[in-house]
Structure 1
Amino acid sequence: MTDEAKVDVKLNVYQKLNKVQTELKAPKGQFNKFGNYKYRSCEDILEGLKPLLKEVGAIVLLSDSVEFVEGRYYVKARAQFVDTDTAEKIEVSAMAREDDSKKGMDSSQLTGSTSSYARKYRLNGLFCIDDTKDSDATNDHAQGTTQAKNTTYTRMTNQHLNKLFELGNKKGYSQDKVRQRITKKFNKTAEEMTTAEYKQVVLGYEKLPDKE
């Protein structure tokens, strides 16, 4: 078939999204010195998206809103994948709750940090990015590293956190108090703990006497 006879096949919005999902490369460009592992930020994902969006003819629109649910404020982040040829769109959303306080942050910084967290996991869902594990296999450690350096870091699940909060309550600490202690100790939210940090916290509470 000659070039003149070729048909210019237009992708629909779902086909464009599928192409971006399967070809997206978003390297983990950030490093957590405390946990000694690499991770990707919202900005890393967006940088990886730009050339693919240009190629398929699409844009990503991001927006936030603040919602009050059961006495707490949540940042609801939305992401829209929009086909620039047809204006068809696919939308996903994610929510993250602000901590009561976070060391070294004022209220505006706290909201901004929560927004970034929600945006990252919303983009993860839209573009099929698995961010549940940050393995040292991607960190180029030399051979002969210790077992501690080969730890797999897993994002906390609701099951993990419910178990921890129940244990904290048994020892006389409310959920908010447990969260505050985690933030003070690790400078991160409960959801951002690694499995090693989670086990450390659980062990600490298990050693405390039960409340009377």
Structure 2
Amino acid sequence: ILEATKPYLLELGVTVTINEKLIASDPFPILESTATISDGDADLAIHAKAIVGIDLQQKGMQMPQKFGSASSYGKKYALGNLFLIDDTADSDATNSHGKASAAKNKETLTSKKDPAYNKAIDYVKAGGKIEAIKAKYSLSKEIEAELKTL
């Protein structure tokens, strides 16, 4: 998330920080992750939090891995909350764990009159990848060629 937002943060002159705090330890540790976006004025900073429990009984992980995993999740969800990112397409949410799944139907983007066309143009102009658009939409050859010229 931070890598994807870095160019925009630089352009806007803002920074994002993430702080963590252990807020409970009984019956199990709970981490609170706070993501903050700020232009340096603390009064105008925007904060978003995520709370993550650490499963000390989880098999197959050493203690540092348990805390590291929980920390990563907390940061990810705090940033998702800060930037209003819907995590339904998250690899954890879509992981089939080896089970076959039905293919998803993509939306088609074949007309310049489609509102998604303008979104795609803006996305590519802002540095977005055409492959990301193709993951969501079936593009006509004409639309794909047009996007490649940007």
SS in 2 for 1:110: helix
Question: Which residues of structure 2 form unaligned runs of 5+?
Answer: 92-99, 105-150
Given residue 64 of structure 1, which amino acid in structure 2 is its aligned partner? E
Alignment partner, residue 34 of structure 2: 78
Residue 65 (structure 2) aligned to one of 100, 109, 123: 109
Are 2:48 and 1:95 equivalent residues in the alignment? no
Supply the RMSD in Å over aligned alpha carbons: 2.2
Residue 119 (structure 1) aligned to one of 72, 75, 81: 75
Q: Deviations over 1:113-161 (max 9, x none)?
A: 00100111111111011002459xxxxxxxxxxx82337xxxxxxxxxx
Structural mapping, 1:131-150, within 5 Å: 131-134=87-90, 148-150=101-103
- Matches of 1:119 and 1:134 in 2, distance apart? 14
- Matches of 1:134 and 1:60 in 2, distance apart? 21
SS in 2 for 1:132: helix
- Matches of 1:106 and 1:129 in 2, distance apart? 30
- Matches of 1:134 and 1:81 in 2, distance apart? 22
Q: Deviations over 1:84-129 (max 9, x none)?
A: 3x44311111111011233332111110100100111111111011
Q: Percent identity?
A: 37
User: What TM-score, normalized to structure 2?
Assistant: 0.56
Structural mapping, 1:1-212, within 5 Å: 45-68=1-24, 71-84=27-40, 86-87=41-42, 88-134=44-90, 148-150=101-103
Give aligned pairs, total.
95
Of the two, which has the highest radius of gyration?
1
SS in 2 for 1:72: coil
User: What TM-score, normalized to structure 1?
Assistant: 0.41
Question: Which residues of structure 1 form unaligned runs of 5+?
Answer: 1-44, 136-146, 152-212
- Matches of 2:25 and 2:36 in 1, distance apart? 24
